[in-house]
Structure 1
Amino acid sequence: MLVKGHDFPNVTLVVVMFADSLFRFPDFRANERAYQTLLQVIGRSGRGDKKGIALIQTYEPEHPIFEVLLGNVSEESFIEHEREMRQELGYPPFGRIARLRLEGKNKAETFRRAEQLAEGLRGWVLKNEGENCEILGPSDAFIERVNDAYRFDLLLKSQKAVTLQKCIGIGREWAEKTEQDLLIDVDPYGMG
């Protein structure tokens, strides 16, 4: 609640328990969001004339986020590190990604179908050498089961939006033919 920009002038102590959960989320933007959140919550303490204290519990005090917050590393170098990581891995803005999520009541059958879709997409990429699209997975979704439906994810990565759209189109056609529930999220904001 304190992160949301409220102004409580008498707050002089902010405590963040298990801050690691902010950057351990399976999302390439996790460090960026964790840094923003921690910076905001720290700013809630010690407003006006009162001094403030922020206590952060972590199992990784050497993590780059804490190095920046403590002033040991500049914010610019943290941003550059995140940019380099995204470029190396082909994540936005240096590439495009899409998550294809399959859902079904039978876990084994849904996983088999996810494997079938992944192999079909990989086969298309091999046949079309000019089309560079990496197919990762299938893997369990971060939240594996919702409303008695099992969920498996494929992650598609490409340097070109056109190639990514072709792969998505193949996935969509496959889902229609097989009557498989398929959720498509291009450049998903959360990977969970």
Structure 2
Amino acid sequence: MAYTYHQADTCLRCHICGGWRPVPETCPGCGDPAFKFTGFGTQRVEIALKRCFPQAQVLRMDADVTARKNSHDELLAVFKSGRADILIGTQMIAKGLDFPNVTLVGVLAADASLHMPDFRAAERTYQLLAQVSGRAGRAELPGEVYVQTFSPDHPAVRAAASDEGFAPFAAAELAERRAGGYPPYTHLACVTFKGPDEAKVRFVAESVERGLRRALAGTNVLLSEACPAPLAKAKDHYRYQLLLRAPTARAITRPLCALLAKTRLAPDVALAIDVDALSLM
């Protein structure tokens, strides 16, 4: 998992486990001291906006500035009262907020969620864009929305930008899921293995996979290969996954539970089963 550079305290932080480390003096890959940080987190956006609009009052709302109790409500109160002109935030400001004086909304890297390894990626991208767009023009004043994307022709992005609503996008998305054998036309179970020793985690995951392939032979259950999870390491634990899909949840759980009942896992490898999983991370 990549670390994120935080300019305020000049360190690298992990947003998953909270760990941190000092900023290296040279590039860890090649040793060159002449390197710079790229990307645009909320801090970089804040710096750029203050440079472009020096007279504007800019507020930033993310996990770093809302860690203190009640800070979330305090920031929103400042913005709603008009004491701030621009509000920058992560997805936490995408929905549930009603500011009558907001007439312009911008979405940066709108397709970041589009390329996540999850069959719901397009649906979640559409939801995010539709929710964020709804923050502008909620009163008498008209609203404008600007979306930055590297995939302007993707159905989720085009649907969010159109006036056709959710129904056409949902119909196309459901047709793809039916053809691919994904929920809601099948049940999906995500089996996650995690532990501090990657070799042990991989060995257990592959052993369970082999056992399941024998148990599922001749059935209509689809089984993936054991592979690193999209979030391959968190809090010093390596993570591997198996995905199972079938017309009924029982077709998955019966052979899975029967196999695990007679399988001894390594003592430092934990296993979690999520049936009808909402997230594959």
Q: Is the TM value for this pair above 0.5?
A: yes
User: Does 2:226 align with 1:138?
Assistant: yes
**Residue from 66, 69, 72 that aligns with 2:160:** 69
Q: Select which of 244, 258, 277 maps to 1:156.
A: 244
Shift of 1:136: 0.4
CA contact (8 A) 1:172 1:182 kept: no
Shift of 1:2: 3.2
- Structure 1 regions of 5+ residues with no counterpart? none
User: Equivalents in 2 of 1:174, 1:114: separation in Å?
Assistant: 15
In the alignment, is residue 187 of structure 1 matched against residue 276 of structure 2? yes
| 1:166 paired residue number | 254
In structure 2, the partner of 1:120 is: 211
Residue pair 2:226, 2:241 contacting (<8 A) in 1 also: yes
What RMSD in Å do the two structures reach over aligned CA positions?
1.8
More helix by share: 1
Shift of 1:43: 1.1
The structure-2 alpha-carbon separation of the partners of 1:2 and 1:102, relative to structure 1 and needing over 3 Å to count, comes to: closer
Q: Following the alignment from structure 2 to structure 1, what is the Cα–Cα distance between the partners of residues 161 and 276?
A: 32
Identity %: 35
Specify the alignment match of 1:40 in structure 2: 131
What residue in structure 1 maps to residue 104 of structure 2? Answer: 13
Pair 184,117 (structure 1): closer, same or farther in 2 beyond 3 Å: same
Residue 20 to residue 75, structure 1, CA distance change in 2 (3 Å): same
2:144 counterpart letter in structure 1 = I
Cα distance in 1 between the residues matched to 2:244 and 2:254: 11
Equivalent-residue separation in structure 2 for 1:17 and 1:87 (angstroms): 31
Tell me the residue number matched to 1:104.
Answer: 195
Once the two structures are TM-superposed, the CA of residue 58 in structure 1 deviates from its matched residue by: 0.5
Which residue pairs with 1:178 in the alignment? 265
Q: How far is the alpha carbon of 1:174 from its aligned partner?
A: 4.8
Q: For each residue in 1:100-122, what CA deviation from the matched residue of structure 2 results, as whole angstroms up to 9, or x when unmatched?
A: 11112111221122111101100
Structure exhibiting the larger radius of gyration computed from Cα positions: 2
The TM-score normalised by the length of structure 2 is 0.63
2:178 equivalent among 83, 87, 95: 87
Q: CA deviation at 1:74?
A: 5.9
Secondary structure at the residue paired with 1:191?
coil
Please say if residues 90 and 96 of structure 1, whose CA atoms lie closer than 8 Å, have aligned partners that are also in contact.
no
